[in-house]
């Protein structure tokens, strides 16, 4: 990754995606945490469709605590891994209630002890709720990082996160995370990238570019 390429990429992101935000819908801290846990191997559109129904039916934390695991599974059945997610959400809510007074903790260490919460989820929650500089490497971020040369195609998500932290200014972590997701979701797609429309195609190292 050359300095010139990095500056060009970030300038493109700032020009085309200056104010992009996360697309998961939520009003309360625990609603975001639930949505991010549900987003594993599922689209934000699919998750929002599920959480709208769930949070309308159960608009308070106390109400969600009354939902049984099987009932969560019924809500989540349109999502991948829905049975595991139902178990995670059920246990997560009760752990939040018992150990954190129903509040989502800010500490990464505490977040990672919650059911269904991995590093990516913890980073998203910390960045979104608490504005802590974090980079969450989901499938979009990983793909874009590799194609644009921030990382190697052989790198795992932990290595990609370390490289992005090293290459990006800390004040850009949250913003660039959202920009990479938006770029990957709507232009540099996994299976059908719109390479002919992409101003960064000459930088891209993807061997199967659609030219």
Q: Which domain holds residue 116?
A: 29-130
Domain at 161, CATH number:
1.10.1670.10
Catalytic residue among 29, 85, 120, 175: 120
Are residues 93 and 52 part of one domain? yes
Q: Which residues, at least 6 apart from 109, have a Cβ–Cβ distance to it below 8 Å?
A: none
Domain-embedded: residue 203: no
Q: What is the chain's percent helix, strand, coil content, to nearest 5?
A: 60, 0, 40
Domain-embedded: residue 205: no
Are residues 68 and 7 part of one domain? no
How many domains are contained in the chain? 2
Are residues 174 and 157 part of one domain? yes
Q: What is the pLDDT of residues 62-87, one digit of tens each?
A: 999 999 999 999 999 999 999 999 99
Are residues 182 and 120 part of one domain? no
The last residue of one of the domains, among 83, 104, 130, is 130
Q: Is the pLDDT of residue 210 over 90?
A: no
Mark whether 120 is an active-site residue. yes
Mark whether 28 is an active-site residue. no
State the distance between the two ends of the chain, measured CA to CA, in whole angstroms.
Answer: 22
The last residue of one of the domains, among 130, 153, 188, is 130
Are residues 40 and 107 part of one domain? yes
Catalytic residue among 53, 113, 131, 138: 138
Q: What is the pLDDT of residues 81-127, one digit of tens each?
A: 999 999 999 999 999 999 999 999 999 999 999 999 999 999 999 99
> Which of the four pLDDT bands, split at 50, 70 and 90, describes residue 211?
confident
Q: Say what the pTM is.
A: 0.93
């Amino acid at each position: 990754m050359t300095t010139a390429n990095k500056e060009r990429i970030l300038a493109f992101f700032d020009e085309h995606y200056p104010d992009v935000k996360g697309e998961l819908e939520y009003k309360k801290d625990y609603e975001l945490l639930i949505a991010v846990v549900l987003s594993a191997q599922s689209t934000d559109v699919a998750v929002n469709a599920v959480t709208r129904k769930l949070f309308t039916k159960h608009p308070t934390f106390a109400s969600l605590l009354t939902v049984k695991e099987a009932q969560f599974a019924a809500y989540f059945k349109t999502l991948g891994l829905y049975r595991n997610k139902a178990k995670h959400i059920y246990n997560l809510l009760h752990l939040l209630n018992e150990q954190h007074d129903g509040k989502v903790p800010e500490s990464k260490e505490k977040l990672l002890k919650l059911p269904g919460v991995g590093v990516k989820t913890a980073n998203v929650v910390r960045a979104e709720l608490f504005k802590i500089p974090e980079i969450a490497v989901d499938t979009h971020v990983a793909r874009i990082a590799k194609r644009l040369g921030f990382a190697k195609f052989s790198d795992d998500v932990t290595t990609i996160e370390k490289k992005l932290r090293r290459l990006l200014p800390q004040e850009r972590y949250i913003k660039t995370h959202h920009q990479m997701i938006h770029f990957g979701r709507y232009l540099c797609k996994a299976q059908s990238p719109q390479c002919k429309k992409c101003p960064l195609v000459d930088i891209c190292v993807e061997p199967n570019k659609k030219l």
